[in-house]
Structure 1
Amino acid sequence: MAPQLTWHEGDLREGLAIRLRGGVISQIRPLGRDTADLRPYLALPGPTDLQVNGGGGVLFNATPTPEGIAAIRAAHRALGTHAILPTLITDAREVMEAAADAILAARGQPGIAGIHLEGPHLAPERRGTHAAQHLRPLDGRTMTVLRRLRAAEVPVLLTLAPERADPALLAEAAALGVVLSAGHSQATAAEAEGAFAAGVSMATHLFNAMPPLHHRDPGLAAAAILSDAFVGFIPDGIHVAWPMLRLALAARPRADRSFIVSDAMPTVGGPEAFDLYGRRIRVQAGRLVNDEGALAGAHLDMITGLRRLHRDGGVALKAAVAMATHIPRRAMRLPPLGVAPGTPAAVIATLDERLRFQGWLGDPA
């Protein structure tokens, strides 16, 4: 195979030939005068999505089982995403414990990179669509779940409002190796800066569920942009306007600390409506909204997000690919994944000239 562009060694390279043997990349070299059997536009590692609430008609909160996880991952794989963090949003303690049990049972499933617990330790003022009755400070019961997961070496991402968390529990979670992310938070800039200094290493879906930028009250958003923390964005043009996304990226001190997520709900690869906390959520003009018209997650997959980030957001293709592939993996301390000898062909996605998913390199033609 000879793609026009190949994501190789952290860059988009032209004129490379990829040879497979036994379902694994055996060689990458200059094409020369060879006649390639396949010539896609772009070959890249399938994206890693750190925020996947559902897919294929399945919501993780409603089906916190290994079977539910497999169905969600299958829906996203069909759209070009390789690895996901099934994401549990705010719910009862028993649901969090069931989700942890499911992830522990699903550890052998391909493409399940860990778990994202988005809540319930959030600021009520910034809860968004999260259920108010389940909100609570970080507590011993959650810490028990975190200890179980980390004892089994499961990567864990925990989104919380750092200003509402006991500093001793935050420090313990960080020491366990939990990746802590500030989100759904009312934190001031000073509080956010203190959290980043104390072990919080990420911000969840920047600009959403946090105070807006203000010239006299910069808040969490400004602190995150100016920090060395990893920062996630939802690149659908709905959750963040493209000029604001470009502004944030331009202001970041390190270009390699920003990534994209889908924040996908069950409508991705599934029906156009589902129930959340007993309320109907539906796709309306590309937006996922509840009966009151408020946003409730995203109707987005990672390849579409990559394409929109580049085409609509004006982000260079090299940067957009990095934001969908190796940067989220670094943010979660996952092993790197690239188009390189030894990589299974089944994790390499191919895209056409319009940056639409064509298929997996390891699939039969």
Structure 2
Amino acid sequence: MKLTNVKIVTPYKTFLGTIEIEGGKIKRVYEGKEEGGENLQGMMAVPGFIDIHTHGIGGFDFTSWDSKEEFIKNLLEMKKIYLKHGVTTFLPTTVTLPRENLIEACKAIGEIQDDSMPGIHLEGPYISEKHAGAQDIRYIRKPDVEELKECFNASKGKIKTITFAPEKDDINFINGLLNLGIYPSVGHTDANYETASKAFLAGANRTTHIFNAMRPFHHRDPGVILASIRFSKYIEIISDFIHVDRDVVEFLIDVTGVNRIVAVTDSIIATDLRDGEYTLGKTKITVKEGKALTKEGRLAGSTLTMDKAFRNLASLRSLNEVVMMTSENPAMAVGLNDRGSLEPGKKADIVILDDELKVKKVYLNGEEYF
């Protein structure tokens, strides 16, 4: 199979060329038009978007359900919606939950044999009460390696990453995560600069939605934000220009470089739906003009989609840089080395965009799904 006469966007170069696909993977990528391939004249090919922090979309979510079967049903229904927005890989993301619910979610992901959902992101329960955001503080608890091992085993080893507050425990918890092959991410935290720096240097490789749900930056108390900018290998950003001002997003990219920025949506059940009343876990939220808030007025996730995040970032940087932030960096941040870029050997997860950067087609493992 060949996709030809298409503008191909890589982190290093944009050119008119051909993508050759075989066995669900990219076999060759080269300049020039081929006869007999699918002619995509006027279109652009970018790697499938990868969202490693998403709670829900289109009326389905991973934060509340009545059974393991419902959780799995939500996963499969949400996959269809994500694909329409160009997302070919996503990590279902939970919030702070009671132990039994957390284990049930992990059991459910363990039963999913679909590589577009290669694992789960646990956002909590080992977070700061002070910076819980919309999460339910009743279920916040101290880091517990034994509980995490139980979840890990229930998931059949598919916990990819966990967001935690490093001030809740010493470095032993990070070591426990690393021993299980879980990527630690610092977030929902009141950590000071010293504590956060130690966490990153000990192996935490990411910051969860920087600037949001964490100790704010102050010139005499730089906290986790400066520690993240200096030491975190990857940094999540919600680029809806609501959670973080547009100019601050641009400033962050300038300071850190595009190779460290991971675009995420932090999307919730209300995404792709009308304004109204919804829930995030056990918390009631209101969505008005696309902004999700708790009754106390705190932001509660977003209604951002990854194609919109792509367009927003494209207003700030070149497309070559944007594909790194929406595909390659998210993949690398959680060890998905087989995807995230248009190069030989990688999964043939490809999004075709028009000249307005709107999704026109999506290929998953080389098959057209949308």
Tell me the equivalent position of 1:242. Answer: 246
Shift of 1:303: 1.2
Residue range with higher mean Cα deviation, 22-31 or 10-19: 22-31
Mark the CA change 1:3 to 1:135 in structure 2 (over 3 Å): closer, same or farther. farther
Greater mean deviation of Cα atoms: 124-133 or 28-37: 28-37
* Residue segments in structure 2 that go unaligned for 5+ positions in a row: none
* Aligned match of 1:339: 342
* C-alpha distance after superposition, 1:144-195 (max 9, x if no partner): 2354168x34242110100112432321122211100100001111111111
The C-alpha deviation readout for 1:185-206, integer Å capped at 9, x for no partner, is: 0111111111111121110000
Aligned-partner Cα distance in 1 for 2:273–2:146: 34
**Residue 232 of structure 1: CA displacement?**
0.5
Residues in 1 aligned to 2:88 and 2:369: alpha-carbon distance in whole angstroms:
17
The answer to which of 130-139 and 242-251 deviates more is 242-251
The match for 1:120 is: 125
CA deviations on 1:191-245 (whole Å, 9 max, x unpaired) are 1111111121110000001122211111101110111421100000000111112
Give the counterpart of 1:157 among 134, 158, 161.
161
Matches within 5 A, 1:276-315: 276-311=280-315, 314-315=316-317
**Distance (Å, rounded) in 2 between the aligned partners of 1:29 and 1:140:** 48
Q: 1:343 to 1:203 in 2, by over 3 A?
A: closer
CA RMSD of superposed structures (Å): 2.4
Pick the aligned partner of 2:224 from 215, 220, 225: 220
1:233 aligns with 237
1:83 corresponds in structure 2 to: 89
The 5-angstrom pairing of residues 26-105 of structure 1 reads 26-31=27-32, 37-63=39-65, 65-105=71-111
Structure 1: any 5+ residue segments left out of the alignment?
A: none
Helix, strand or coil for the counterpart of 2:97? coil
TM-score by length of structure 2 reads 0.89
Q: Share of identical aligned residues, percent?
A: 27
Distance 1:156 1:19, change over 3 A: closer
Matched residue pairs, number? 358
In structure 2, relative to structure 1, the CA distance for the partners of 1:341 and 1:248 (3 Å cut) is: closer
Distance 2:356 2:314 in 1: 11
The Cα offsets for residues 44-76 of structure 1, whole Å up to 9 and x where unpaired, read as 121110101011211212135222221222221
Letter in 2 for 1:111: S
Opposite residue 258 of structure 1, the aligned amino acid is I
How far residue 29 of structure 1 moved from its aligned partner, in angstroms, is 2.6
Deviation at 1:363, TM superposition (A): 2.2
**Structure-2 change in CA distance of 1:277 and 1:340 (3 Å):** closer
Look up the SS of the partner of 1:200 in the other structure. Answer: coil
